[in-house]
Amino acid sequence: MFVTKYGERPSKSRGASRMFSQLACAAFLTLSAGSTSLASEAVEGAPDEVQKQDPLHFLVSLDEQRIDVYRGSELIETSPISSGKRGNSTPTGVFSILEKRRKHFSNLYDNAPMPFMQRLTWSGIALHQGKLPGYPASHGCIRLPRSFAKSIFGMTARGNHVVVTRAAATPMPVTHSALPQPLSPSTKVASLSAQNIAMDPALRGAIQPAVLQTPIAAAEPENPHFDRPLRMIITPQKPPSKNKILQRLLNELGYNAGPVDGVVGRKTRAAIELYQEGADLPITGNITDSLVARIYREAGYEKPHNAKLRVRRKFRDVYSAPVTIKGTGEDIGTHVFTALDFKQGDPSVEWIAVSAEGERGGASYEILDRLEIPQKVAEDLSKMLTPGTSLTVTDRSFQRNTGLGTDFVVITR
């Protein structure tokens, strides 16, 4: 696909054709801003390649002073920028477009005009038209050339991802069992053979043999939110107190360890000794990792989880579940995985990955190797999965800039 480069002057020999290509590209992208809405509006009989529209996302490099626009893994536009100057530097991290205003004025800096404003945080960071002197000069926003700001304003929708990094980043295809795949279950249908019909007087003549030969299509799962991409995040959790875990489990098993307060008092030690005696273990009354693991299994639980998955749709929490990250003492970094386009009933979907902190934490596939998703959680995600869904795995906090009216905002600097 032709890549539109803003801020470069085309030669006279190709100026007309280039302008036509830019206009055609912009018109095409404006029509396809919703990655799945075109599927229902496409011309009947059109090939699948035309109907499929991978999600739009933006990668900003502060070192390069450049923004790249991707449709899935394909670069479609690029432009110079001017980011925050010293003392007002633009934060790096994972953002989403929260609000769009064609005409906007700053409420922080002398009512300064901010045309084609697309908000990234409620604290004042946005994409907008502005002057580009060739170096970082803003108060933290990302300034864009007028033609580019206007072009992408027509492409985007609230919720589109914007990843801001120091060095330039590139989305890469990734395949891994930890990434959700769409649920496409087959429906079991009871069958009637011709012999069964012939033997049952009530069925003879009621069902024609030709009907039996007609294949019955499996029912596809209906997802009423199929046009709404999910925003998912996995972060490590502070491990719960070993003492509290043991007290809770001993109480569930009927050993009366007292209140679940983490204080190993007389009741808790007596309960431990009673359990050790019944399990033919050395009676010490002491708490060890092996003792906790054994009691965990006996209580019917899986091993304790050390991370949490959260899911948002339309800027609101819709799901959460415990998961496990192996090697939590090691760096994780910040990695964004995005599902490309697919149709309801498709058995699989392709994913791409962007590492928002370079090599910190390792490559994206190495982070996926460290994830353990319980089977029930994986099934739930398969049912919920929609085109353009993203999964962020990070050891950074998202709490400060995440609230009602936002996706999960992760600041990496």
- Asked if 167 contacts 358 with a C-beta cutoff of 8 angstroms, the reply is yes
In this structure, what token pair is assigned to residue 353? 């990955």
CA distance 406 to 311: 12
For 48, residues 6+ apart whose C-beta sits below 8 A from its C-beta are: 343
Return the H-helix or E-strand segment holding 94: strand 93-96
- Mark residue 70 as left, alpha or beta (left: phi above 0; alpha: psi -120 to 50; beta: remaining): beta
Per DSSP, the residues of 357-369 read TTTTT--HHHHHH
Q: Cα 126 from chain centroid?
A: 21
- Active-site pick, 104, 128, 305, 335: 128
- Known catalytic residue at 128: yes
For the chain, how are helix, strand and coil distributed in percent, rounded to 5?
Answer: 25, 25, 55
Main-chain dihedrals φ then ψ at residue 266, nearest 5 degrees: -60, -45
CA distance 274 to 270: 6
- Active-site pick, 104, 141, 305, 335: 141
- Asked if 77 contacts 3 with a C-beta cutoff of 8 angstroms, the reply is yes
In this structure, what token pair is assigned to residue 313? 């749709």
Main-chain dihedrals φ then ψ at residue 91, nearest 5 degrees: -70, 145
In this structure, what token pair is assigned to residue 214? 């007609």
List, by residue number, the catalytic residues.
128, 141
